[in-house]
Amino acid sequence: MDDHRDSARLLPCSDLEGRKEPRSLSDPNGSCMRRDWAPVTSDRGQLGARGALRVLSLSALGVVFGDIGTSPLYTFKTILGTAEPSPYVVLGALSLVLWTLFIITTVKYVLFAMRFDNGGEGGILALMALIGVKKRHRPAIVAIGLLGAALIYGDGTITPAISVLSALEGLNMVTPALQPYVVPAAVAILLALFAIQSHGTATIGQLFGPVMLIWFMTMAVMGIFGIASHPAVFAALNPVYGLSYLFSNGTTGFLVLGAVFLYVTGAEALYADIGHFGSGPIRFAWFAIVFPSLILNYAGQAALVLDGAPTDGNIFFRLCPEILLLPLILLATIATIIASQSIITGAFSMTRQAIQLGWLPRLLIKQTSSQGFGQIYIGVVNWLLMIVTVGLTIGFGKSENLAAAYGIAVSLTMLSTSALLFIAMREIWSWSMLAAGSVAGCFFVVDCTFFLANLVKIASGGYVPLIFALAAYGIMWIWHRGAAAVSQRLHDALIPVPEFMAQIAARKVPRVPGTAVFLTRTERDTPPVMAWHDKHNRALHEHVLVLRLKVLSVPWVSITNRIRIEQSAPNFWRAEVRYGFMERPHFAELLAQSKVLGCTVDFSDVTYYVGHETVIRRVDGKGLPAWQERVFALMERNAQHVGEFFDLPNDQVVEIGRQIAI
C-alpha cells in the first residue's frame, strides 16, 4: 500500500467527532489524539491549572505509589535482620536507604526516565517501542525490553503477598494469639481482591487517592514522633555514613544492599503510569508528599532503634501509640490492598500493550468502565497472578521470608531500563557518547550493584519470580516467532490483484450483491482468505474491501492518520487502518466514515471474512522446532476469536479455515 500513497487520502479529524470514545486532545498540528485521560483545563488560567494538578496528583497517590508507599512496612526490619542493630549499622543503613531513594527513584526515574514518554505513555515496553521506531530490526533492544516486561510479571506475583502479609503481621503486636490467623486472613483478602477484578474498580478507585493521602500523612506524623526521640538520626543524610558501612563490613555490608533495595521496588511504576496522569502530577505528588513522608518514616524507625527500642517484631508499628495500633493496622491493610490493586492493573495494561505489539496472543479484554480506557480486565492474567500470589503467601508464610525472595526480578528490570535509557539519550536527545555514557553508566553501576547483592536471594526463593518471568518471556518469544512464520507462509502464496481479477473474469465467477470485507495481514496482492473464499464458494461479492490492521509503535494515533484507502481495481478497494498499541480497534465504526475518502462501497450490506489458520508441522524440516510449533499451535487455538477481538458484528462474520505448515 505504501507504493500508492499519492492516491490515498486522509480522514479529517472533524469527520469522526462524536464517537463514544475516550476524550480527544488536539496536538500542536491540529490532529486529534485519543487518550484514556485528559488533563483538566480551565478558562480561569493558572488557578484552573493548579487545581487540575492537585486533583491528578491526588489520584496518582492511589495508583502510582502504592508499592513504594507500603515498603516501610517490611523493609527496615529486613535490614536489621541482616546485621546487629548498633548505632553504626543503623545510621549506615539509613544513609544507604535515603541516598538510594534519591539516586534511583528521584534522579533516574522522576527526573530522567519520565522525560522519555512515547506519545504520553511510559514503561519499559513503551520505551522499547519508542527507540525501535527508526529501525525495525533491533533484536537486542527487543530482547531487553521483553525481558524487563517479563520480569515485571515475576515481581508482581510477590508484591501483593508481601504487602498484605506485612500489614496483617501487625496483629502479632496486639496479641500473639492472633498469629495463626495472619496467613488465612491474608489469603482471604487476596482471593477477594482477585475475585472482584472482573467487576471493575472504577467506583472504589475514586477512594484510593484520599486513602493513600491519609496513609502518607500518617507515616510522616509517625516518623516525626520517632525522630523526636533521637533527632541525631539526621546525621544519616551524610552519605559518608552509608559508604563507610558499605565498604567497611565486607560481605555483610554488601548483602545489606539486597534489603535496602526493597525501598525502591515500586520505582518502575512511576514511569509506567505516565499515561494515566502525566508526568507533572506524578512529579508533584512525589516531591510534595511521597518522598518527604518516606524519608520521615524511615528516619523515625531508625531513631526509635537508636533510642533503644526492641527490634523484634515490626519496627514500623512500634512508631504508633498502642491505643491507635488497631486503626493503624486497618489503614495499613487497606493501603496494601491498594498497592496490590495497582500491580494487578499494571499487569493488565502491560498485557494489552504486548498483544497490540504482537508479542502475545489475542486474549479476551473486558472493558470494566466507560469512563476510562485503562479500566480493563484480562481473566487469564488475573487468575494466573492469583494462583501464584496465594501460593507464595501460603508457601512462605511470613513477610520476612518473602523479602528474602523479593527484589531480584525488579533489579533486573531496572538494569534493562538503564540500558534502554542510554540508547534513548543517544538517539532521541542526540547526546554524545561521553554524556550519555556518563549518566547511564552511573545508573547502570548502581543497578548492577543492587542486582549482584540480590543474587544471593535465588536460593532463598528468588527463583520463584525468575521462573515466572522466564515463562512469560518464553511465551512472548514463541508467539512472535510463530506469528512471523505464519505471515511468511501466507506471503509465499500471494496472487497479484490484476492476475486474480483476470482469473475471476476468465472463469466467469458470479458477482453477488453486497460488500465483502476481507481481513488480512498481508500488505499487498490478494489476501489468502479471499482466495480461499473464491476457491470454496466459487462466487465473489460485487464490492470488495481488503482491510489490514497496522499497530504502530506509538500508544496513540491521530485520527487524521487513522485510515488510508485506495482503489486497486474496479469495485476493489484496499484499506490500511492504523492504531497505537494502547488503542482498541473498532473497524465497523471506522469504515462507515470511509465515504469521505471517495470509497463507493456500501457498508449497509456487508459481510466480514476472517481467516482461521490451523497450525501444523512442516514436513520439509525447514520450519520451527517441533516443540515451538506445538506451543504456538496451542496458543493459537486458545486465542480470542478475531471477530471478537476487532469488535465485529457477530451475525456478519464468516470464518474460513485453512491449515498452515510452519
Give the tens place of pLDDT for each residue, 277-297: 788 889 999 999 999 999 999
Residues in the chain: 662
Q: What is the pLDDT of residue 26?
A: 31
Arithmetic mean of pLDDT, 407-420: 89
pLDDT at residue 203, rounded to an integer: 63
Residue 561's pLDDT band, with cuts at 50, 70 and 90, is confident
Q: What is the DSSP letter of 18?
A: T
How far apart are the C-alpha atoms of 527 and 509, rounded to whole Å? Answer: 17
Rounded CA-CA distance 379/32 in Å is 32
Predicted confidence at residue 299, as pLDDT, reads 95
Average of per-residue pLDDT across 357-385:
81
Say if residue 413's pLDDT is above 80: yes
Pick from 404, 463, 341, 455: nearest CA to 74: 404
Collapse the DSSP code of 535 into the 3-class scheme (helix H, G, I; strand E, B; otherwise coil) and give the result: helix
pLDDT band for position 31 (cuts 50, 70, 90) = very low
CA gyration radius, the chain: 28
E strand or H helix that includes residue 514: strand 511-520
HEC string of 415-460 equals HHHHHHHHHHHHHCCCCCHHHHHHHHHHHHHHHHHHHHHHHHHHHH
| pLDDT number for residue 475 | 93
Residue 390 to residue 340: CA distance in whole angstroms: 12
Residue 617's SS3 state is coil
Give dist(CA 288, CA 170) in Å, integer: 28
Q: Which CATH architecture has domain 46-481?
A: Up-down Bundle (1.20)
pLDDT in tens, 194-208: 998 888 766 666 788
What is the model's pLDDT at position 374?
A: 64
Coil, strand or helix at 109: helix
What's the pLDDT tens digit per position in 488-521? 887 777 888 889 888 888 999 898 888 899 998 8
Give residues with Cβ within 8 angstroms of 316, minimum separation 6.
72, 73, 74, 76, 77, 170, 222, 297, 301
What CA–CA distance (Å, rounded) separates 453 from 406?
12
- Flag whether pLDDT at 7 surpasses 60: no
What's the whole-number mean pLDDT along residues 34-49? Answer: 40
**Is the separation of the CB atoms in 78 and 295 below 8 Å?**
no
Contact between 60 and 281 under an 8 Å Cβ cutoff? The reply is yes
Domain map (residue ranges) of the chain:
46-481, 492-661
Helices and strands counted in the chain (H then E): 28, 10
Q: What is the mean pLDDT of residues 133-147?
A: 74
Buried residues in 588-603 as b, exposed as e (16+ CB within 10 A): bebbebbeebebebeb
Instruction: Taking residues 645-659, report their average pLDDT.
Output: 84
Dihedral sign from CA coordinates of 239, 93, 67, 154 = positive
Backbone angles phi, psi at 26, to 5 degrees: -95, 130
Higher pLDDT: 289 or 655? It is 289
Give CA–CA dist 572/547, Å, rounded. Answer: 11
Q: Which three cell numbers stand for residue 336?
A: 496494601
Contact 466, 158 (CB under 8 A): no
* C-alpha distances in Å from residue 337, one per residue of 169, 170, 271, 522, 550: 14, 15, 21, 46, 38
- What pLDDT band is residue 463 in, cutting at 50, 70 and 90? confident
CA angle, corner 158, sides to 156 and 164, nearest 5?
110
Instruction: Look up residue 625 and give its three cell numbers.
Output: 522446532
Q: Of the spans 46-50, 162-166, 172-176, 562-566, which averages the highest pLDDT? A: 162-166
pTM recorded for the entire structure:
0.78
d(CA 402, CA 159): 9
Between these two residues, 569 and 311, which has the higher pLDDT value?
569
Helix (H) or strand (E) holding 302: helix 291-306
Mean local confidence (pLDDT), 412-424: 92
pLDDT tens for residues 230-276? 999 999 999 999 999 888 877 777 878 888 888 888 888 788 888 77
What's phi and psi for 139, nearest 5 deg? -60, -35
Contact criterion met (CB below 8 Å) for 302 and 296: no
Please give the Cα distance from 653 to 612 (Å, whole number): 12
More confident residue, 80 or 203: 80
Q: How confident is the model at residue 39 (pLDDT cuts 50, 70, 90)?
A: very low
**Cα–Cα distance measured from residue 116 to residue 555, given in angstroms and rounded to the nearest whole number:** 13
